Amino acid sequence: MQIDMTEKKQPRVIKANYVLQAKVGSGPLDERTVEKCQQVMDSADIDFAPLANEYLNKLEFAIIKVRSGELTGQDAKQAMTQPVMELKANASTFKYDLIGNMANIMLSFLETVKTLDKTVIEIVDVHHKTLKAILANKMKGDGGASGKALEQELKDACKRYFQAKK
């Protein structure tokens, strides 16, 4: 699912904070505890739509602010990246793998572009509208053939963007 993106960013080294490890300890987790947690997650019948709509509304608001020029530069990029990151992190937990996969593609794209030009904003906007439709139609799982086609089209749009920038 990796997209070949020509604009590369330099990796940044973040020094580890050992406070969390000191609180929880180290070593493997008890297998029974992990199994119980997994059973709870698998049997939970929680509606993802309200949470996803909250993130999608934040993304829509960011798109509007960026288009109007109210948000620029790193603030604009962060405002668009954050809700996409939240969608990616939460979608598969609620069995919306297609949303998670598409958010992953978009996150990679946003992290790679240098500036949020008109075309980038348009790609993000179409992505937003697509995720809204997926959610409205309750397309759980990977979306089958339609889901694969949507993922491929998003990848192709990102690829076309970078090819045009060469």
**If you average pLDDT over every residue of the chain, what do you get?**
88
Question: Is the separation of the CB atoms in 151 and 47 below 8 Å?
Answer: no
Superfamily the domain 46-165 falls into: HPT domain (1.20.120.160)
What's the confidence (pLDDT) of residue 113?
Answer: 94
Task: Say if pTM beats, i.e. exceeds, 0.85.
Answer: no
Q: What is the pLDDT of residues 55-72, one digit of tens each?
A: 999 999 999 999 999 999
What's the confidence (pLDDT) of residue 79?
Answer: 96
What's the confidence (pLDDT) of residue 6?
Answer: 55
Cα gap 3→98, rounded to integer Å: 16
State the sign of the Cα–Cα–Cα–Cα dihedral 89, 95, 96, 102.
positive
Domain residue spans of the chain: 46-165
- In the Cβ-directed half-sphere of 106, how many Cα atoms lie within 13 Å? 32
Q: Which residues of the chain have pLDDT under 50?
A: 1
What's the confidence (pLDDT) of residue 9?
Answer: 67
Two structure tokens written together for 28? 């493997």
Two structure tokens written together for 92? 């598969």
Question: Is the separation of the CB atoms in 151 and 105 below 8 Å?
Answer: yes
Cα-only R_g, the chain: 18
What's the confidence (pLDDT) of residue 20?
Answer: 67
What's the confidence (pLDDT) of residue 74?
Answer: 93
Two structure tokens written together for 123? 């790609």
Element containing residue 1 per DSSP (H, E):
none
